[in-house]
Amino acid sequence: MRLDKYLKVSRIIKRRTVANEACDAGRVLVNGKVARASYDVKAGDILEIQMGSRPFKAEVVGVNEYAKKEEAAGLYRILSE
């Protein structure tokens, strides 16, 4: 699944266009490297997102095309906020 879509489905970022802009601005790292919106997310990837004043770091646990609000938080595990 594309990185921008994963960020939206998992509700880490609320809208896909915002996720796309964050990737283009270089504020999203996957496994320590700047990632494009088209990066193919896999379970085990470490995401680091610099939005606002605090960085957000999480590990991808699962990848689903769709997730209900209650299931979205189960797609990743927070490592640090």
Domain assignments of the chain as residue spans, ordered by start = 3-80
Contact 58, 50 (CB under 8 A): no
AA letter at 79: L
Would you say residue 81 has pLDDT above 80? no
- Chain segment 1-24, per-residue pLDDT in tens: 999 999 999 999 999 999 999 999
Q: Is the pLDDT of residue 68 over 70?
A: yes
The answer on pLDDT for 75 being more than 80 is: yes
CA distance linking residue 36 with residue 57, whole number of Å = 17
Structure token pair of residue 28: 């999203």
Q: Which two tokens stand for residue 17?
A: 């266009």
Q: In what order do the strands lie in the sheet with 54-60?
A: 33-34, 28-30, 46-51, 54-60, 76-80
Per-residue pLDDT reduced to its tens digit, 20-58: 999 999 999 999 999 999 999 999 999 999 988 888 899
Written as six digits, the tokens of 70 are 């209650």
CATH number of 3-80: 3.10.290.10
Which residue reads 């990743």 in tokens?
76
